[in-house]
Structure 1
Amino acid sequence: MMLILMDVWDSVRGFMATGGDILWLVAGVLFLMWVLMLERFWYVNWVAPKEHKGIIDLWNNREDSTSWYAHRIREAWMSQAKQDMNARMLMIKTLVAICPMIGLLGTVTGMIAVFDVMAVHGTSNARMMAAGISMATMPTMAGMVAALSGVFFSTRLDAKMKISLEKLKDSLPHH
């Protein structure tokens, strides 16, 4: 088992080395994005239903659910539930949008490395230019893959949040 882990770690280190230092930045942003998305999935699936049940119980235990004052209380509870639901979603969407930009930064730094090799050794040494080209393409690919995974899962998370809020709204009848 330890040998397999060491082989995996060596493969990851080799991949990161071919992509340059910018690839580590992409990995850090991707890690943060996924930590935040997993926290939101946990909140939506396990914490929010309990909180929503508490709000529904409070509403059902109210004697007055028809007055103007009761409607404002209902709106305040819905607004608070929506705010709690959408916490950290702006950060997630920002990280998703930043991933391709960091990848492009890797493209620029990789091309600078290629031009540096060309300036020192000329254009005849393709092997030396290959390292810079790899540094240019790997972060771009990694940034795009990170962004695509973030777009897919944050969209699913958004949809799940909207459904949960609509169910809460439907569970708080007003007349």
Structure 2
Amino acid sequence: MLFLMGLWETVRDFVATGGNVLYVVAFALGLMWILMIERYWFLTWVFPKERKDIIARWDARVDTTSWTAHRIRDYWIADANGRITARMIVIRTLVAMCPLIGLLGTVTGMIEVFSTMATQGTGNPRLMASGISMATIPTMAGMVAALSGVFFSSRLEAKVKMAKASLVDSLPHH
């Protein structure tokens, strides 16, 4: 319990040093990771069962060569493709937004520095340093959030591509 309290104090001090923009970075990061974990879960546990069901329905069809059968096959593939790629655009958008949110923190931190300079003058380096850290910490947090998202979302994109190709290959096109 003491460890958790110490961890909480560290996080609280970090947020106090970096400013309120860190809450926005944390929200974007949390949402991005929730969506990525959901996609991994779907592609690992749910989609293989759906894939088997689609293949079983295709194999159970008597007619697999007519124009109508091919349109049904295309519909099933497109429907599965929609479920496979769901939320991927949101994940990519969140990855791209994290550095931009960090830059928003840079702007707010620099406004703090200029405000301090306007009211206190340039003679108080301690007040200026707090504004500088408020400008750099959100940028760093946004970049770290984006880097974690870039790596895992690219892995997720590859998994999505493999799932799509696997389904198409499993439904013979006579």
Give the Cα separation in 1 of the matches to 2:158 and 2:57. 26
Out of 32-41 and 118-127, give the one that drifted further: 118-127
Are residues 1:51 and 2:50 paired? yes
Q: How big is the alpha-carbon RMSD for the aligned residues of Structure 1 and Structure 2?
A: 0.8
Give the Cα separation in 1 of the matches to 2:136 and 2:32. 22
Equivalent residue, structure 1, for 2:137: 138
C-alpha displacement of 1:106? 0.3
Query: Once superposed, which parts of structure 1, at least 4 consecutive aligned residues long, lie more than 6 Å away?
Result: none
Equivalent residue, structure 1, for 2:31: 32
Give the Cα separation in 2 of the matches to 1:50 and 1:17. 47
Query: Could you tell me the TM-score, scaled by structure 1's length?
Result: 0.97
What letter corresponds to residue 164 of structure 1 in structure 2?
A
Structure 2: 5+ residue runs without aligned partners?
Answer: none
Q: Deviations over 1:84-143 (max 9, x none)?
A: 011111111111111111101100000010011111121121111111001000000111
SS at match of 1:64: coil
Superposed counterparts of 1:56-95, under 5 Å: 56-95=55-94
Superposed counterparts of 1:145-160, under 5 Å: 145-160=144-159
What letter corresponds to residue 170 of structure 2 in structure 1?
S
Residue identity over aligned pairs, in percent, reads 63
C-alpha displacement of 1:149? 1.0
Give the Cα separation in 2 of the matches to 1:93 and 1:36. 10
Give the Cα separation in 2 of the matches to 1:102 and 1:174. 47
Give the Cα separation in 2 of the matches to 1:111 and 1:38. 35
